[in-house]
Structure 1
Amino acid sequence: MNSLLPLGTRLPFDGLDQPLELTRLLGGGTQGQVYAVRCGAEELALKWYFPSCIARDPLLRQRLQQSIRLGAPNGDFLWPMALLEPSGESRPLIRCQEPGFGYLMPLRPSGFQGAHLHAGGRMEISLQNILRACFHLADAFHELHLKGLCYKDISLGNLFLRPGDGAILICDNDNVAIDGQGAGSVLGTPGFMAPEVLLGAAKPSASTDQFSLAVLLFRLLTRHDPFRGRQELAIRCLDEPARRRLYGEEALFIFDPENPANRPDPEEHAAALLTWPIYPRSLQQLFETSFGAGLRQPGMRPLTGQWKQVLARCLDQRRLCQHCGEELFHSGPCWSCGHTNPAVLQLQLPRGQVAACPDNDLYPHHFDGRDSERLDQPLAQLVGHPTDPSVVGLRNLGATAWQGQLSNGQMLEVEPGKTCNVAALQQLSTQAGPITPIRR
C-alpha cells in the first residue's frame, strides 16, 4: 500500500503547536489511510482522507467538527480529537494533488482484536467476556443516542474486542451524525442495515441503529447471521437483488417462533444451532422481537437500555457445568454435554440475584435502583478456593469493612480485599446493602 503521507518524517499541521512524527502506516480503506503518530510524548492515530472521499461526502468536515465539539459519548469510542489540515510547508510532501484533511484520535491499545476474528472462530474468548462485550456495546450506543447522535454503520468491521475481559473499542466514528439529519453518503454495511434503509425507504437514524445493534449482538453471541437459514441455500449468487430479498423484502429470522421456514441447516449452519440454546429465554425474546415485529415496525425494536438490563441479568446467572466445565446461563441440562447440574447457591441482593460462581461480580446496580446497569467498578467478586473448587468466597472490593453473621451464629468482619466463605454465611451487611445466600 502506497502511503499518502511520508513515513518517518515530522509534518507540521495547522492547529498543532508541534509537528507530528509519522511512525507507521496502520491500514487503509475506501475513505483513506490511518497512521500511528507521535505528538511530543503522546502516541495517537491519524486518519487522512483520500480526495475522492472528501468529494463524495461534502458534509464530512462539518460532521467531524460537530463530533469534536460534542466529545466522545464514553471511553469505548476511538473518537475524533482534532481536525487537521496540512500547513504550507507540509502540503508539497503529501502524495496527492489535493492534500485535503484528516483527524487525530486515540491510538488503539495492544490487546484489542478485530471482532471479525471472533465471528470467524479465530479468537479465544470466553462466553462471559462475549456477553460483557455485548453489554459494553449496548451501553456505548445508549450513551451515543442520549447525545442525540446516530452511528449509521454498526457492524463487525468497526469493532475491536479484548478477549481477556470483554472490553470493546468502536472505530470509524467519522460517520456519526445528528439523529434525523440523514447527512452523509454512508448508509451502512450489507447484512447489518435495517430493512427500510436497504430498500431505500429511510435514511440511517437511531432507530436503524437499534436494528443494526441487534444484528451485531446476534453475530457476536452465535457467530452466525440472523437471516441466513435454509432460504439462503436456494440463492446461487448473493448479488444485490438477492441481498434485498434475503435481508429486506423476504427477510425471516432463522429462529422465528411462528415460522420455521428459514431454520438453520444442520450441516451448513451448525454454529447457530449449537449456540442459540446457550442463552436464557429473556435474551432470546429480545432477538425474536428485533427480527420479528421490529423487522417492519421500527418502534417495536428493543432499546439499548433493555439490552443492557437483560445482558446484565444473563451475566448474573453464569455458572459452570460440573461435568464438562462449560459456562451456563440458565438452569437445565448443559448445552454442551447434556449433564443436569444441581441447583446453584444464589446471593439475594436488594435488586436481584447473582449465582455464586467464581468470577461473577456484584455491582452498585445490584443494590440501588438509582444506579443504571454498569460493569465497571464492581463492589465484590466471587472467587474460587485455590485448592477446593467446591468452596466459593466473596471478596470485598470496596473501601469499607463488611459486617456479617455465619450460619452457626458467629459474627465476622470482612476487611477490604479480604474474602469470606459464601456457603457459611447467613447474612452479610455491606455499605451498599445486605447480601443473603439462598438455594434454588
Structure 2
Amino acid sequence: MIAIGQKLKSEMLGETLTVKKKLGEGGQGAVFLVEGLSSGMKALKWYNPEQSTEVQKSAIRTLIHHGTPSGQSGSRFVWPLDLVVADGTDQFGYIMDLIDTSRFAELGEVWNRLKPAPSMKIMCQISYNATDSYRKLHLEGFCYRDISKGNIMFDSKTGEVLICDNDNIGVNMHSDSQVWGTMEYMAPELVTGKANPSTDTDLHSLAVLLFQLWVWHHPMHGQMEYDIRSWDLPAKRKIYGEDPVFIFDPHDKRNGLPNDPDYATARKRWACMPKPLQEKFIHVFSVGLKDPKRRVTEGEWRSVFQELEDCIVTCPHDSAENFWYEGLSSMNCWYCGREITEPPRLLLKGASGRSFIVLTPGSVLKKRHIDPFADLRTAEEPAGQLAQNPNNPSVWGLRNLTTASWQATVVNEGVKEVPPQRAIPLSVGLRITFGHCEGELLT
C-alpha cells in the first residue's frame, strides 16, 4: 500500500498529491486523505493489487469523463474526480470530495445509537432524496450495481443525502463490472446468476435499502433465516435468491418474524408504518421478486414519500409524528396509543391527479402542490401557508404567497378573490382555484 507522505500524481490534471493519513479501508482498497496545491484536501480511494485492473481503470475514466449527473439530484453523488497513479506500481486510485462525517451518518451508526435517528418527516426527505438521485442516475443511462446501506449517508436534521463509493457504476447493460453488489441487497436473479446487473436489479436493491431505513431490518430475515444454523454461501443463496420470502408477506407466512426479542424493533416499526408505504413494500417483495419489470420505480417511491411528508400529524399528547392517509378510519398515536382527532385536509385535484395536504399549524403549500409544471429548482418554495387571524387567533386561514390571485368559493358567500399576501379563512366546503389545480377543504 502507499505510505503516509508519499507523492502521487493525478492523471488528468497532472497535480502532485501528498498522502496525509489513512481514513479507512474496505474490500476493494483503502481510503486516504490527500492534499494537492490546487485541489486542496480530497479523499483518495486506493485499490488493492487484485482490484487494480484495466477494466476498473477504464470504468473510472468513463465516470470522470461523463462528470457528476446533472442538477441537484446528481449533486448528491460523491463522484470520482480524477484518476491517481504512483511511480513503480500498477496500482491506482481516484480522488473525490471529502465527506463531513461529523454531520452525515451511516444507517449502521443510527442503529447503534452513535448518531441521532431522524424524525418521520426527515425520513420522508431522506427516502425521497435517495430515490430521486438513483432515478437521475438511471435516466442518464447508468446503473449503480452496489446499492447498500454502506454506500449512503444522510443528515438526520436536514434530510440531505450523499451517495458514496460510486466507482462500480456502469453503463446500463453494457459495461463490465468487478462488483455485482452486496449479496443481501442483490436481486434474486443476480444471486442465482440468471441476469446481469441493471437498472431492474438496482430497483430491488433500492427497495431493500428503503426497507432498512424504515424498519431497521432486512426484508428476508425471518423464521427461515432464523432456523439456519450455518449462515454460509448456500444458505444466503437460498434466502436471497432461490426461495426469497418477505417477512411481512400477507399470503406466504413461512418467513414471518420469529417470537424473539431481537425482532421486536422490526415488528413495532412495521406496525406504525402508514399503509401506503406498507403496500409498496409488499408489492416489491412479492410480485417484484419474481418479475423485475413490475418492481416499484423510483418515481413511484418519490410520490409516496412526498405524499407521506405532506400528511404528518403531531400527537397533541406526546408530540410523536403520525401519518394520516386516505381511507384511515381513525387515528391512534403509535407511541402513546391515544386517539388523535382527524385534522382538516386540503384535497388537491389537477392534471397530475389528486393528493392531500394535512392542515396543521405551520403547514406549507408548495409550488409543486399547485403547479405540476413547476420548475424543479423552485418546486419546494412556499406558495401558501396556514396562518392565524391576528385579531382572532381562533380563526385560521390559508395565506397566498404567490404573485397571482386565487379564486375562492365560500359556502353561502360565493366567489372571493384572494390577492397575494392575503389569507382566505378556512371553512367547511371551501374551494380554491390556484390556476393549475383546485383545492377543497375537507374536515
Q: Check whether TM > 0.5.
A: yes
Matched, 1:69 2:65: yes
* CA drift at 1:163: 0.5
Quote the residue 1:94 is aligned against.
Answer: none
Structure-2 separation of matches of 1:340 and 1:23: 57
Structure-1 separation of matches of 2:137 and 2:95: 20
Quote the residue 2:296 is aligned against.
Answer: 302
Change (3 A) 1:23 1:161: same
* CA drift at 1:377: 3.5
**Deviation digits for residues 301-348 of structure 1 (CA, Å, limit 9, x no counterpart):** 111111111111111111112222211112422222222211212234
Bigger mean CA deviation after superposition, 41-50 or 178-187: 41-50
* CA drift at 1:229: 1.4
Matched, 1:104 2:95: yes
- Alignment root-mean-square deviation, CA: 3.4
Structure-2 separation of matches of 1:171 and 1:420: 45
Residue among 11, 15, 38 paired with 2:12 = 15
Quote the residue 1:84 is aligned against.
Answer: 84
* CA drift at 1:99: 4.9
- Contact conserved, 1:179 with 1:206, CA < 8 A, in 2? yes
* CA drift at 1:404: 8.3
Structure-1 separation of matches of 2:394 and 2:341: 13
**Deviation digits for residues 342-371 of structure 1 (CA, Å, limit 9, x no counterpart):** 121223445522112356543333122335
Matched, 1:118 2:110: yes
How many pairs are equivalent? 420
* CA drift at 1:134: 0.9
Quote the residue 2:441 is aligned against.
Answer: 438
Change (3 A) 1:44 1:377: farther
Quote the residue 1:127 is aligned against.
Answer: 120
* CA drift at 1:23: 3.9
- Contact conserved, 2:280 with 2:296, CA < 8 A, in 1? yes
TM-score by length of 1: 0.84
Quote the residue 1:167 is aligned against.
Answer: 160
**Deviation digits for residues 210-252 of structure 1 (CA, Å, limit 9, x no counterpart):** 0000000000011111111122221112111111122222211
Paired residues for 1:10-409 under 5 Å: 11-16=8-13, 18-39=15-36, 40=38, 42-55=40-53, 58-73=54-69, 74-86=74-86, 91=87, 98-109=89-100, 110-122=102-114, 123-181=116-174, 183-266=176-259, 267-330=261-324, 331=328, 332-351=331-350, 352-357=355-360, 361-371=364-374, 377-380=380-383, 400=403
- Percent identity, please: 32
Quote the residue 1:4 is aligned against.
Answer: 2
| Structure 1 residues without counterparts, runs of 5 or longer | 92-96
What amino acid sits opposite 1:51 in the alignment?
Answer: P
Structure-1 separation of matches of 2:84 and 2:425: 56
- Contact conserved, 1:402 with 1:428, CA < 8 A, in 2? no
Change (3 A) 1:289 1:378: same
Structure-1 separation of matches of 2:112 and 2:385: 32
Change (3 A) 1:51 1:376: farther
| Structure 2 residues without counterparts, runs of 5 or longer | none
What amino acid sits opposite 2:314 in the alignment?
Answer: L
- Contact conserved, 2:144 with 2:166, CA < 8 A, in 1? yes
- Contact conserved, 2:228 with 2:235, CA < 8 A, in 1? yes
Structure-2 separation of matches of 1:374 and 1:133: 18
The 3-state SS of whatever aligns with 1:33 is strand
